[in-house]
Chains A and B, each alone.
Chain A
Amino acid sequence: MSAPAAGTAIRTKSPHPSKFERAIVVGASSGMGAELAKQLAAEGAHVALVGRRESELEAVAATIRAAGGRAIVAKHDVTAYEDVPRVYEALTKELGGLDLLVYCSGAQYNPDESVYDFAQDREMIEVNVIGAIAWTQLAAAHFEAQRGGTIVGISSIAGERGRRTMPGYTTSKAAMSTWMEALRNRIARYGVNVVTIKPGFVDTAKTAHLTKKPMVISPAKAAELILKAAHRGGSPSVFVPGQWQLVALIIRHIPSFLFRKLNL
């Protein structure tokens, strides 16, 4: 809504757009991130794929381009926090602005209960929390200024409770969910759509080792549900698929003295 003469100066709140024109997907080399990138491109978005594994990113980008979509690629390790502004600025410049940022990078270890591994816990916090903060807050500052934009953070239902089987992971996802909630409370009033996604089991490399995966869905299905939530606007926090909402409600209310006895 800015007049040519007013340059970048004046922006008024704009309605939530029906489609995303320019998107960055952080953690796009595989799983949900790769699917999100493909589906966004199929909707017509110009997508920037960010991740550590350049060849995988290129492969996803090639698929997108083969289908007639537009994609660019940036090799970046989300724990190289000081690189985030440079990568963000280079990509938004190339895309000509930004409507959507998806933070999909995640580290997950499910160590045996006899293991106390600080390096793994630290990595999960660094990737799932600090990396998420570095990326989403930069987008938040720009989106607040432009009075619009969507930030999607892929957290997890695992963040609802601290679980004996995955202390580091559940802690990291609780922190990420809280961060996303705080961000929403801070900037939703400026017309920025801050979306928290809490998936249950998604059939990806991260869950390959698990034997029991109730209500498991494919990454493609997860991506579809995530985009649906992002398109809806109104800064929702959603479980993917939605049935997990009921499970989460129950889990959140199990008293601590009982919860510690459950093999969760």
Chain B
Amino acid sequence: MAALPSLRNTAPWRVLDGFGISARAASRWVQPRSVDELANIIRRAADENLKITFRGNGRSYGDAALNAGQLVVDNRGMTRVLSFDRERGTIELEPGATIETMWRTGLPAGYWPHVVPGTMFPTMGGCVAMNIHGKNCFKAGPYGDHVQELDLLTASGELKTLSREQDPELFRATIAGLGLLGAVTRVKLGMKKIESGRVKVRPITTPNLNAMFDCFVERMPQSDYLVGWIDCFAGGSGLGRGLVHQANYLSAAEDPAGRALLDNDKQVLPPKIMGVPRSILWRVMKLMTNDPGMKFVNAVKYMLPETFDSSGTFTNTHVAFAFLLDSVPNWRNAYGDSGFIQYQMFVPDSTARAAMAEALEHCRKQGVVSYLGVFKRHKPDEFLLSHGLDGWSLALDFAVTPGNAQKLFAVTRDLTKIVLDAGGVFYPAKDAVVDADSFARAYGDRLTRFLDIKHRVDPQSVFQNDQARRLGLV
């Protein structure tokens, strides 16, 4: 066989960005269509001393799927559902298959993914690498908790099947392992049996941060989903004011009509929002995406009651409730060319109230206010570099502009100090700004153990990306 052309010299270049737009890099790019092709690429890249990162739909906010000057291996050439067991509700997927593929496969048979993020576009490869979570993480745990088995193609070309029984150490390092241990080529997951195509949603207004914590504590035992939205502009006695959305699955007895909604065609996002077609909504939002505009939008969102009946609830299809971010296609473009960063802090239960109040207050004082605050409860899990902990998270979206960049980075450094002092951790799927020392402090001994495994399964350090280099993970 003739020698294949060098990847270094012939692979096309692409300028790729993180979901936050603000992080971007030019790199070589390939999209293999099969495990064999993928194995071949890994071998050639190793021979040519090219570093590989994997990339799916680019939903990580920062530089997790960027690899400046090196090689990005796009998993979207491998998107098949390999099997679906209607009896057990187990599904096997290729790495480029998305959360959307998963729910569309399961829903008609009465299954919904145990864990979905706020968008249906992440790929399985990305979900494994980041161990993503959803609005039910306090109860269902992260994505990894529902993975039964996966195949990992390592730098040596070996295809290893990993599970809690088979090579459990590597299994627990691969999930939340940022794609640094090899290519995930197959994921097998359990799905949740559901009886209705919709959920019951209860919105609850919380006048400040403590009220939001209290609301979660009170509601967690009887909720399937809980997510808090925070108006980060509010201060004083209203610091941390917002809305909690509680949602619950509905049984066939509670919602007999819900069965008919177990139909993909019935699971649609609203075509218009406040009279504006979804496809152009981001352009309208762009006009508001500045400090005064967002201050106004946040206040209106806080004040405006949502439509619900006398029980204080309304129903929503699974898709409409789960994938709120997809309701506005291209919403990230509202931030313009400089984009935004998301800073998500994860802090233990014991320190969370004080740390989050301090973070919100600090941002206000510095005049660097998040346009969106999202609040959740988490629980610990078994994965080595997971962000899961017995605590809480607050996700903050900050616009980046040429004028505010330096000030913003200074504020995020302060936030990082708050997180570390509170004994918290960071979440690489969101991160664009944390430094290696802070990451090491947050993960401590777990990082050391991860690096040991990394050196063992990828001694040449073939798998790298911009974030891993920044965080000292390679």
Binding site for B on A (CB under 8 A): 1-14, 82-86, 89, 137-138, 141-142, 144-145, 147, 190
Q: B5 to chain A: which residues have CB within 8 Å?
A: 82
Q: Which of A6, A14, A86, A141 contacts B432 (CB 8 A)?
A: A6
A15, closest chain B residue (CB): B402
Chain B residues near A142 (CB, 8 Å)? 26
Q: How far is the CA of A206 from the CA of B432 in the complex (A)?
A: 51
Flag if B466 contacts A1 (CB, 8 Å): no
Q: A144-B26, A145-B25 are in contact. Are A85 and B405 (CB under 8 A)?
A: no
Q: Which of A4, A9, A86 contacts B466 (CB 8 A)?
A: A9
* Contact among A5, A14, A147 with B435 in the assembled complex (CB-CB below 8 Å): A5
With both chains docked as a complex, state the minimum distance between the C-beta of B34 and any C-beta of chain A, in angstroms: 26
- Would A7 and B470 be within 8 Å (CB), given that A12-B400, A13-B338, A141-B26 are in contact? yes
Taking chain A's interface residues, is the majority helix, strand, or loop, or is none over half, making it mixed? helix
- Contact status B432-A10, CB under 8 Å: yes
Besides the contacts A6-B470, A144-B15, what 6 more A-B pairs have beta carbons closer than 8 Å?
A: A8-B466, A12-B22, A12-B401, A85-B8, A138-B13, A190-B337
Instruction: Please tell me if the beta carbons of B63 and A145 are within 8 angstroms of each other in the complex.
Output: no
* Nearest-Cβ distance from residue B456 to partner chain A, whole angstroms: 26
Q: Hey, which chain A residues are within 8 Å of B14, CB to CB?
A: 141
B433, A8: Cβ atoms under 8 Å?
A: no
B15 touches A13 (CB 8 A): no
Note all chain A residues with C-beta closer than 8 A to B432. 6, 9-10
Chain B residues engaging chain A, CB cutoff 8 angstroms: 5-6, 8-10, 13-15, 18, 22-26, 62-63, 66, 68-69, 337-338, 341, 400-402, 405-406, 409-410, 412-413, 416, 432-435, 466-467, 469-470
Q: Which residues of B contact A9 (CB under 8 A)?
A: 18, 22-23, 62-63, 66, 432-433, 466-467, 470
- In contact, A13 and B402 (Cβ under 8 angstroms): yes
Structural contact, B9 and A145, CB atoms closer than 8 A: no
Contact between A6 and B10, CB atoms less than 8 A apart: no
The contact sample of 26 A-B pairs, CB cut-off 8 A, is A1-B405, A3-B409, A3-B410, A3-B413, A4-B435, A5-B412, A6-B433, A6-B470, A8-B25, A9-B62, A9-B66, A9-B432, A10-B405, A10-B409, A10-B432, A12-B22, A14-B402, A83-B9, A89-B69, A137-B13, A141-B14, A142-B26, A144-B15, A144-B26, A145-B24, A147-B337
Q: Are A5 and B401 in contact (CB under 8 A)?
A: no
Instruction: Among A82, A137, A138, A141, find the residue whose CB has the most chain B CB atoms closer than 10 A.
Output: A141
How far is the CB of A194 from the nearest CB of chain B, in Å? Answer: 15
CB distance from B64 to the nearest CB of A (A): 10
The residue among B26, B66, B406 with the most chain A CB atoms within 10 A of its own CB is B26
A92 to chain B, nearest CB (A): 9
Given contacts A1-B405, A83-B9, A86-B9, A13 and B337 within 8 Å (CB-CB): yes
A82 to B3, alpha carbons, bound, how many Å?
Answer: 15
**What residue of chain B has the Cβ atom nearest to residue A138's Cβ?**
B13
Expressed in whole angstroms, the Cα–Cα distance for A116 and B301 within the complex equals 74
Query: Which residues of chain B are near A6, meaning CB under 8 Å?
Result: 23, 409, 432-433, 470
CB of A5 within 8 A of CB of B413, answer: yes
Q: Within 8 Å CB of B413, what residues of A?
A: 3, 5
Contact B400 A145 (CB under 8 A): no
Cβ contact of A145, chosen from B68, B401, B409, cutoff 8 A? B68
3 closest Cβ pairs, A-B complex: A3-B409, A141-B26, A82-B9
Are B435 and A11 within 8 A (Cβ)? no
- Report the separation of the CA atoms of residues A84 and B68 in the bound assembly, to the nearest whole angstrom: 17
Considering the chains assembled together, what is the distance between the CA atoms of A12 and B62 in angstroms? Answer: 14
Known: A7-B63, A9-B466, A141-B13. A1 touches B402 (CB 8 A): yes
A44 to B400: give the CA distance in the assembly, Å: 32
Alpha-carbon distance between A27 and B114 when the two chains are bound, in angstroms = 60
Q: Measured between alpha carbons, how far is A147 from B23 in the docked complex, in Å? A: 11
Known: A5-B412, A145-B68. A11 touches B24 (CB 8 A): yes
